Amino acid sequence: MLLLKRANELLAENKLREAEFMYKSVLKQSPNNGPALFGLGRICMRLEQYDNAIYYLKRACEHLPKMLEPLFALADAFLAVGSPVDAKTVLEYTLSVAKHNAQAHYQLGQFYLDYGFIEQAKNVFKAGLDCPHSTVTAFMLYELVQMSSAKELPAYLAILEKLENEFEAPRLKTVVHYALAKCHEQLGNFNAAQDNYALANDTQLLMSEFRTVDMLPFFESIKLHCGKAFFDKPSDRVKTTFTPVFIVGLPRTGSTLLEQMLVQHSNVGTLGENTVISDKIVPYLSKRNNAEFPACLDQLSNSMLDHCRILYVDEIKRHRVPEEVVINKLPANFQNLGLIHKLFPEARIIHLTRNLNATAWSVYSNHFAESEPYFCSLSEFALYAQAQSDLMSHFNQFMKRDIFTLSYEQLIAEPEKTIKQCLSFLYQKYEPECLEFHKSKKPVHTLSKAQVRKPISTQPLEKWQRYEAFIEKMIAQPQSDQTTPANL
């Protein structure tokens, strides 16, 4: 028991190798020790050794029959190896043995949502409300109010108003206020919706540990290190076996919609919002050059770039993307365009834009898990949007032929024409299936996962306008008047 306790402590400290040794020592004494098997499964997940994770987690589930966490982890492992059918089987089994557990309902409901089974997701979330209330109750209600009819909303509104008084944790209060806002909005109570959006955002902004103005020197340093001299230096003209595509821009500018339209094409696959550049490639370069990003880009040898390309290709292999064109739709990759150009000189960059007020409201009225200031303040978002626009203008000076800029409004107004232009930029011929995106069961993990299961609508183009006066007032508000960061 002492070995197991120490192993769990080491795992909590992210000392994976030491924890692995301890867990294996426990298994030498007791080969069927469920907690030790679960611990090894979690280590394999963190190390992205998913086949090994499945082996250990299956055994952990056998020897921990009353624990749900190993089952949830096993479902995640199956998803990581591209086996959603097995993940679905595990999650449905979990719910069958834990019908009164809200977390079991939430996990299965989220799976259904991700894969486009909207009605099944709705039914599972509704059943989950009958379970004893827990933290996930608020999250289930947040999803439910967005997929339910007006006649169902008053019942959800009553539960949310009760939870508003029950929950003390700021993160939970934030979710409740977003759900209340969505509920009031669909019921036509726009003043109440606006008030709850403001409460949600103000509460979340209190949890932010920095402000957008703190990021401006970073954006300026990117321009400095990725300037004319950087782009004039000859690049290693490596020809890849795939066409790397990066969809960049501000959040809520239509990247999920565009991605889902493009991936219906027979030659186009996706990594989703993949962070391999910031999580693996940049740390490698920082370590090799003993400098933080973007200063680590000052000295890029061919061997470094080759290693970085291998890291990216390994990510493609891990996600089992066999298509000729491979999309990475992480919007924040606009910061990495200089590095991307050096890694993949033939990369195609699609820059999405949208009306500022519409974008700002779409961000403000949706719950982002990260408490970053530009996600929960209209004036903070306006500052971030300006910084992003300035940086894109900078990169356009040097990468004009590699960047295709299109607006969300253009995509909505003329989808076929716009997709044809996009595909031509990606060296692909148009396929009509691209306009049938809403019928697809390809997984979507972003905030738009339910929205992209419907045909294109002009509603998002107009929805923000009823809040226009509020948006204009808040965008103009000086940053100094914003809520103080939590740790300042």
Peptide bond into 294 cis (omega under 30): yes
User: From CA 148, how far away is CA 317, in angstroms rounded?
Assistant: 39
Residues in the chain: 488
Residue 236 has pLDDT above 90, yes or no: no
pLDDT digits (tens, 9 = 90+) for 447-464: 777 777 778 877 777 788
Q: Where are the beta strands (DSSP E) in 280-422?
A: 325-328, 348-353, 403-407
User: From CA 377, how far away is CA 363, in angstroms rounded?
Assistant: 9
User: Which pLDDT score, from 0 to 100, does residue 240 have?
Assistant: 86
User: Which pLDDT score, from 0 to 100, does residue 168 have?
Assistant: 87
pLDDT digits (tens, 9 = 90+) for 286-340: 999 999 999 999 999 999 999 999 999 999 998 889 999 999 999 999 999 999 9
Q: Record the tokens describing residue 169, joined without a space.
A: 């944790």
User: From CA 261, how far away is CA 264, in angstroms rounded?
Assistant: 6
pTM listed for this prediction: 0.89
Residue 486 has pLDDT above 60, yes or no: no
pLDDT digits (tens, 9 = 90+) for 265-299: 999 999 999 999 999 999 999 999 999 999 999 99
Residue 106 has pLDDT above 90, yes or no: yes
Please tell me what DSSP assigns to residue 274: -
Average pLDDT taken over every residue of the chain = 92
Kindly state the percentage of the chain with pLDDT values over 70.
Answer: 98
User: Which pLDDT score, from 0 to 100, does residue 443 have?
Assistant: 79
- Residue 254: left if φ>0, alpha if ψ -120 to 50, beta else—which one? left
Is residue 463 helix, strand or coil?
helix
Coarse DSSP helix, strand, coil percentages of the chain, rounded to the nearest 5 percent? 65, 5, 30
Location of structure tokens 């032929």 = 401
- Torsion angle in degrees (nearest 10) through CA of 111, 87, 260, 322: 170
Amino acid at 183: C
The more confident residue out of 56 and 1 is 56
Residue 488: pLDDT band by 50, 70, 90 thresholds? very low
User: From CA 301, how far away is CA 307, in angstroms rounded?
Assistant: 10
Please tell me what DSSP assigns to residue 370: S
In 3D space, the residue among 206, 326, 335 whose CA is nearest the CA of residue 282 turns out to be 335
- Torsion angle in degrees (nearest 10) through CA of 145, 362, 110, 261: 120
First to last CA, the chain: 42
**Using an 8 Å Cβ cutoff, are 13 and 5 in contact?**
no
In 3D space, the residue among 230, 346, 237 whose CA is nearest the CA of residue 299 turns out to be 230
Please tell me what DSSP assigns to residue 365: T
Residue 487 has pLDDT above 70, yes or no: no
User: From CA 258, how far away is CA 422, in angstroms rounded?
Assistant: 9
Residue 478 has pLDDT above 70, yes or no: no
User: Which pLDDT score, from 0 to 100, does residue 479 have?
Assistant: 52
Angle ∠(18,44,326) on CA atoms, nearest 5 = 135
In 3D space, the residue among 53, 50, 43 whose CA is nearest the CA of residue 15 turns out to be 43
